Structure 1
Amino acid sequence: MRMGQDPRERRRDETAENGGFAALATAPFRIDRDRIEASPFFARLGGVTQVVSAGGSAVLHNRLTHSLKVAQVARAIAERVAGSAESGEMAAKLGGCDPDVAEAAALGHDLGHPPFGHLGEQVLDRIARHRYGLADGFEGNAQTFRIVTMTETGGPTPYGLNLTAAVRAALLKYPWARLHFPDPHPVNLPVPPRGAAEPEDGPGTGSAKFSAYSTELDDFRQAREPFADRIEWWQQTVEASVMDLADDIAYAIHDLQDFHRIGVLQHAAVATELGQWLSGASAFGELPLDELRDEHRNPGRSLESLRRRTHAKDSWVASDDAFSAAVAQVRTELVEGLLAIPFDGSIEAEQAMAAFSARWTARLVDGVVLNATPSPRTGHVTLRTAQWHEVQVLKFVHRRFVLQRPDLALHQRGQASLLTSLVDALDAWLGDRDEAERLPRRLHDLVELSRAQYAAVANNAPELLVGATGEPVTGRDAVRGLARGRAVIDFVASLSDRQASGMLDAISGRTGQPWSESFVL
């Protein structure tokens, strides 16, 4: 680190020149923002599903347009925090809140999302753990950190984008590994941070959400070092908290717009659910837990389940009065406002959509507060009680009336089968000695990279090498097996939806057309 340098500006490789990247900015954090935006991994997000495949539509959100809107909200929040004398001073004591850092992290937060969004994430995690024995499986946030520190090769160094510590730390939405790091692990805290608890259906598998694999822990440590005496070891940096909150706000608003636009979000169903709960809140509150399970046939019960979950998981903020007010607010703005008139592409409909988005974004950003001692369940940057509950209700509407639709499940089962078949085909190709020289060059390079990484872990931190069932992994062949699995997962995760589908068609002989796309990822 050069004399007088802010430790937050420390890069992964201090000796590196710009290399192939022509820096147009001079401020360190602006350079990071530009590097992320210039990355082919960022461009790829235009072809990756947000919730459902855009199918060529220019108006439905994909991961790229989502990331741009998250960045817009993140910068507004960061400027609000840094621009206030009181919150700006507090943020400085906690490690800083630079709008360029928050914006860079927001632009990069979804770089690791695989084809088909969260569905792809679940499929690749299952394959990584059960087929390849990778204990840390696959997680989109950890894949993002792996990309910016290791597998992106177009930056100023051979590996990663050589970002500053501040931006790398801001990308650590869940600042821990799945297992073993840090020690003690946040899963063992009396109140685990959001995402740190084990999934209910996977005891012993580690945290449900995490931001680094065992192969990137050195970069993790270096990124977090400047914040060691500012925040708790398990807490997000202030800028990571800004990015996380901006992601929640954008998701809560823009995905609802998409499904209203294509006619999926139906006025009657949403109105009935919210109206029934509001008119009978007291009676719903007295229902035994087992009677809430039949939610889909009994309007109001899903919302009551949400109210109870907020008390069980987020008692630090849960309020029945605020919950009721949030349901009423969403009914007024969403049901009686936006959904009352079917979207028909008219000027009136477009203006109603834009007004809804602008009004809610402003309302939620206006509810941002900075807390020096937050609950483990939230970051330093959070929402006031009223707005926090409104976000929960908006996200509930999306989950209940979009994500739980059987037609979406049918579509996603096909995507899951596609990804599984593609992994099978690529793995078989890797195992074919006669075809070893004709592997896609990108896959070959990823295998070599992973072998070097896992060999280093075996030499320097063998305790981190455990299989999916917790047994130690020893021996050269077993370690190379982990590396092979990670490389295949890296390769598939770097594809767009259309690339994954097209490559499977080509590799399985379902098309007579030769593979003609330049394979840069």
Structure 2
Amino acid sequence: MLRMGAEPDPRAARRDPAAERGGFADLATSPFRVDRDRVAASPFFARLGGVTQVVSAGGSGLLHNRLTHSLKVAQVARVIAERILAAEESRELAEKLGGCDPDVAEAAALGHDLGHPPFGHLGEQVLDRIARHRYGLADGFEGNAQTFRIVTTTEVGGPTPEGLNLTAAVRAALLKYPWARLHYPDPHPAHMSVPPRGAAEPAEAPGTGSAKFSAYSTELDDVAQAREPFAGRVEAWQQTVEASVMDLADDIAYAIHDLQDFHRIGVLQHAAVATELRQWLDDRAEFAALPGGALREEHRNPGRSLETLRRRMHVKDAWVVDDEAFAQAVARVHAELVEDLLAIPFDGSIEAEQALATFSARWTARLVEGVVVHPAPSTRTGHVTLRQAQWHEVQVLKFVHRRFVLQRADLALHQRGQASLLTSLVDALDAWLADRDEARRLPRRLFDLVELARAEYTALARNTPEVLVGATGERIEGADAVRGLARGRAVVDFVASLTDRQAASMLDAITGRTSQPWSESFVL
């Protein structure tokens, strides 16, 4: 919330006020509403309409894409922020923690997925692997970090030559994981006895740094500036209240709307989901007594996957997990998702559409009503979280989505093809960059990204060489090595800025698989 009086509000401080373009006209007067409008007007926001949420919508309009998902997250985030302000106790606590402005929460929610590459999370994994293994970039690729890089650096159509020049509050609210992969803050949250969610290293890749993070080494100064108004209010590794609101709204929207999508197209089958949930409810005591080895060996049998979830929650989230609350959540999801919604196949009728709308509205209201502001939360959650009952319900809803959609073999087949497409596109662009005879005919956007990255990495080598390390931890030294990192970052930036269709069309053109020149004029 804006502070009254002559002293400027540090939360409203912009990254570079002097660089604002004189002809750039903002329609709103509130600096946070201005930020909301700047995010919504960005071409990076518009491109989300062509980026996969879970599977490619293929132009059908039946599935959420990253744009429609972001709009729904923004809707939920604003409601949560307004509810926090409406109650005196939560409003006062939020103020002590740095503030909770609905415009800030909405702006962050609209912008939280700007950095998602083509093909959603699958594209994120592919580009991270390429960035680390091919180009030696220690901080690889991460969608949240790419979002922060866009709003501070690579968006060039905004009010400043680089980035959207957002206020400190909105930039801080975009930091879902307010640390870098390796270097920031010090001490790094990965080394805490109970690391924040996402801060720990992936078990399958020790030594690579945090699994999730929100800034690359090139944006560390921007992170520090954005977080400065919150010093002494939240810990260095904690989300701001508004970031916590955005994060929770994302969880709520994901838990509900993706299930709607896959019921609508007939992927989420009543029988399979009902059998899993019903079997666990009927035999929960027997499942609890199963040895871990037997549970793993019989994981395909009904009820075993849900029991695995229960045990994992005890390991990771002891601060909130409760077996009775979990059982009640399973029973509620079984009754309201399985028996009320999935029991009747979606046929496009008015009745079916109304059943979907009722399910979504009822569950959104229930989860939002469970929001609380906690003065001293577990390291595994933010200051804005859910009551125990609703927290367990979100875990069960997300389990249904993961178990009966994401783990399908036909989706895996589809995604392997997308992974191959992205890898081949990076190969082709990298070869083009290395071709001295053709380098002058590079896409202008790629050329500009190379120049930008060279300037950034040269500055890092000169001013903060300790953060300039390779993927295996070695110190990067020498102009050629620095240029190699910059080239990798530029290629990854370019590919990440494409829509699903742009990525596929560009690969067809660059490999000669189409007789038409690749003529789409709007390439970020």
Q: What TM-score, normalized to structure 2? A: 0.98
Report the equivalent of 1:325: 328
Give the direction of change, closer, same or farther, for the CA distance of 1:295–1:354 in structure 2 (3 Å limit): farther
Return the offset for 1:291: 1.3
- The reply on whether 1:509 has 2:512 as its aligned counterpart is yes
- Corresponding position of 1:462: 465
Structure 1 equivalent of residue 141 of structure 2: 138
What residue is the counterpart of 1:446 in the other structure?
A: 449
Aligned CA distance change for structure 1 residues 167 and 186 (closer, same or farther; 3 Å): same
Asked if 1:263 corresponds to 2:266, the answer is yes
**CA drift at 1:194:** 0.2
- Within 1, Cα distance between the matches of 2:415 and 2:122? 7
Query: Quick one: distance in 1 between partners of 2:24 and 2:79?
Result: 28
Confirm or deny: 8 A CA contact 1:19 1:157 kept in the other structure: no
1:41 maps to 44
**CA deviation string 1:223-276 (max 9, x = no partner):** 000001101110000000000000000000000000000000000000000000
Determine helix, strand or coil for the equivalent of 1:322. Answer: helix
Take 2:281 and 2:364, find their aligned partners in 1: how far apart are those partners? 25
Match of 1:167 in 2: 170
The counterpart of 2:159, out of the listed 156, 159, 162, is 156
- TM-superposition CA deviations, 1:460-482 (whole Å, max 9, x none): 10000111011100000000100
User: Offset at 1:294?
Assistant: 3.5
Within the candidate set 486, 496, 501, 2:499 is matched to: 496
Residue aligning to 1:370: 373
Using the TM superposition, name which of 285-294 and 387-396 deviates more: 285-294
**Counterpart AA for 2:495:** V
* 2:330 aligned with 1:338: no
The more displaced of 3-12 and 340-349 is: 3-12
d(CA) in 2 for partners of 1:450, 1:83: 45
> Where in structure 1 are there 5+ consecutive unaligned residues?
none
The aligned residue for residue 205 of structure 2 is 202
Which residue pairs with 1:406 in the alignment?
409
**8 Å Cα contact 1:149/1:219 also seen in 2:** yes
Matching residue within 279, 287, 297 for 1:284: 287
The aligned counterpart of 1:360 is 363
Q: 1:57, CA displacement in angstroms?
A: 1.3
Map 1:50-69 → 2, pairs under 5 A: 50-69=53-72
- Cα-Cα RMSD: 0.9
Residue in structure 2 matching 1:100, options 91, 99, 103:
103
The AA in structure 1 aligned to 2:330 is: V
Equivalents in 2 of 1:7, 1:16: separation in Å? 18
Change (3 A) 1:20 1:261: farther
2-structure distance, mates of 1:383, 1:46:
30
Q: For residues 190 and 286 of structure 1, what CA distance do their matches in structure 2 show? A: 29
Identify the match of residue 70 of structure 1 among 68, 73, 90.
73
2:18 counterpart of 1:15: yes
Amino acid across the alignment from 1:157: T
Letter in 1 for 2:335: T
CA distance, structure 1, for counterparts of residue 368 and residue 436 of structure 2:
57
Deviates most, 13-22 or 239-248 = 13-22
- Please say if residues 498 and 523 of structure 2, whose CA atoms lie closer than 8 Å, have aligned partners that are also in contact: no
Which one of 294, 299, 302 corresponds to residue 297 of structure 2? 294
Deviations 1:277-327 (A, max 9, x none): 000000000001111113553100000000011110000000000000000
Query: Residue 82 of structure 2 corresponds to which residue in structure 1?
Result: 79
Q: Which amino acid aligns with 1:462?
A: P
Distance 2:505 2:428 in 1: 13
- Measured against aligned partners, the alpha-carbon deviations of 1:445-472 in whole angstroms (never above 9, x if no partner) come to 0000000000010011000011101110
Give the Cα–Cα distance (whole angstroms) in 2 for the partners of residues 159 and 297 of structure 1. 51
**What is the alpha-carbon distance in structure 1 between the residues aligned to residue 195 and residue 54 of structure 2?**
28
**Contact kept in structure 1, 2:47 and 2:499, CA below 8 Å:** yes
Confirm whether residue 233 of structure 1 aligns to residue 236 of structure 2. yes
Aligned residues of 1:19 and 1:155 also touching (Cα < 8 A): no
Give the distance between the partners of 1:180 and 1:20, measured in 2 at CA: 38
Equivalence for 1:393: 396
Letter in 2 for 1:357: S
Partner Cα distance (1:404, 1:411) in 2: 12
Partner of residue 314, structure 2: 311
Structure 2 unmatched runs, 5+: none
CA distance in 1, matches of 2:24, 2:422: 33
Please identify runs of 4+ aligned residues in structure 1 that moved more than 2 A. 16-22, 294-297
Fraction of identical pairs, as percent: 82
> 1:516: Cα distance to partner?
1.0
Deviations 1:101-133 (A, max 9, x none): 000000000000000000000000000000000
Tell me the amino acid that sits aligned with residue 493 of structure 1: A
Q: Which amino acid aligns with 1:92?
A: E
Per-residue deviation, 1:22: 2.4
What is the distance in 1 between the residues matched to 2:522 and 2:351? 44
User: What CA distance in whole angstroms lies between the structure 2 residues aligned with 1:9 and 1:175?
Assistant: 19
The residue type paired with residue 195 of structure 1 is G
1:181 Cα deviation from its structure 2 partner: 1.1
Partners of 2:245 and 2:24 lie apart in 1 by 28
Query: Deviation at 1:20?
Result: 5.2
The answer to whether the 8 Å contact 1:21/1:154 transfers is no
State the distance in 2 between where 1:3 and 1:174 align.
Answer: 33
CA distance in 1 between partners of 2:319 and 2:24 (Å): 46
Q: Secondary structure at the match of 2:437?
A: helix
TM-score norm. by structure 1 comes to 0.99
Whole-angstrom CA distance in 1 between matches of 2:73 and 2:496: 22
Contact 2:19 2:161 in 1 (8 A): no
Q: Write the letter of the residue equivalent to 1:474.
A: E
Residue identity matched to 1:55 = G
Query: What letter matches 1:226 in structure 2?
Result: P
2:215 maps to 1:212:
yes
